Amino acid sequence: MIMKITYSNFSDKGGRAVNEDYTGVAGFGDRYCFVLCDGLGGHGMGDMASRFTVKYIKERFIASADSAAFVSGIADDAHLALKQEQEKDIRCSKMRTTAVVLVIDGGMGYSVHIGDSRLYVFRDDMVIFRTKDHSIPQMLVLTGEIKEDEIRRHPDRSCLLHALGDETDNVRYEKSEFDLMPGDCFLLCSDGFWEPVTEEEMCSELRKSRSAEEWLSAMSKKAAENSRGMNMDNFSAVAVFYGR
């Protein structure tokens, strides 16, 4: 039986002049690919990096037949493709981007991520999984030097350890594979979205929401409210309901 999949995506430039976030969806039947990128580089054209990478990943997914194989190789392939774009124009030589990808194929879910854009997995309105950031604060959490809830306020929270387009030929990333249950929900989001919205607020809004669109709208308003008076970063997200 094909499980119903509904989704909603959102992106806003916040208090910045340019929106370097970009989201995309490609899918058919019970096979979907959701992707979110947060470009880096400012004048190094981070907005171009995120748009190029989302487009590249979507095209590769549509052309693929095996979801597990696609997820296994897409980060390496996207990294090399972005580096080739850098070589075409010196103005693009420093453009980089985070990336988080969720693939749903039947009853299986696959993810890959690099940087500090996150994937959250919710079951019974609770967080059961989130990706670990490739950032200095996340590394400090893993070594026991700070607590998880200190990441959002850490002065080095924007210092990334890995991103697509880095100088290295062999980029580092993380992959996950998991069984899906009817009612599972997913959130892909940039750091500008998850920093002002806590996991508790995500879960609270999920309990009250009847659709992915309603849930994402409520969280987006919460992000803006919690960031009032600040120079808010670009904030973007994709919300997905699986059989809910």
* Complete domains list, the chain, with CATH: 5-242 (3.60.40.10)
Q: Nearest Cα to 51, choosing from 7, 1, 77, 85? A: 85
- For the cut 80, the answer to whether the pLDDT of residue 193 exceeds it is yes
145 band by pLDDT with thresholds 50, 70 and 90: confident
pLDDT (average), residues 191-211: 96
Range with the lowest mean pLDDT among 71-75, 90-94, 184-188? Answer: 90-94
| Per-residue confidence (pLDDT) for residue 227, from 0 to 100 | 86
Average pLDDT, rounded, for the chain: 92
- For the cut 90, the answer to whether the pLDDT of residue 116 exceeds it is yes
Residue with the bigger pLDDT between 147 and 14: it is 14
- For the cut 90, the answer to whether the pLDDT of residue 169 exceeds it is no
| Per-residue confidence (pLDDT) for residue 229, from 0 to 100 | 75
**pTM, full prediction:** 0.94
| Per-residue confidence (pLDDT) for residue 43, from 0 to 100 | 56
Residue with the bigger pLDDT between 53 and 90: it is 53
- For the cut 90, the answer to whether the pLDDT of residue 138 exceeds it is no
- For the cut 90, the answer to whether the pLDDT of residue 142 exceeds it is no
| Per-residue confidence (pLDDT) for residue 42, from 0 to 100 | 62
Residue 59: φ, ψ to 5°: -65, -40
pLDDT (average), residues 211-219: 98
8 Å CB contact between 237 and 222 = no
Rounded distance between C-alpha atoms, residue 85 and residue 95, angstroms = 9
% of the chain at pLDDT higher than 70:
98
44 band by pLDDT with thresholds 50, 70 and 90: low
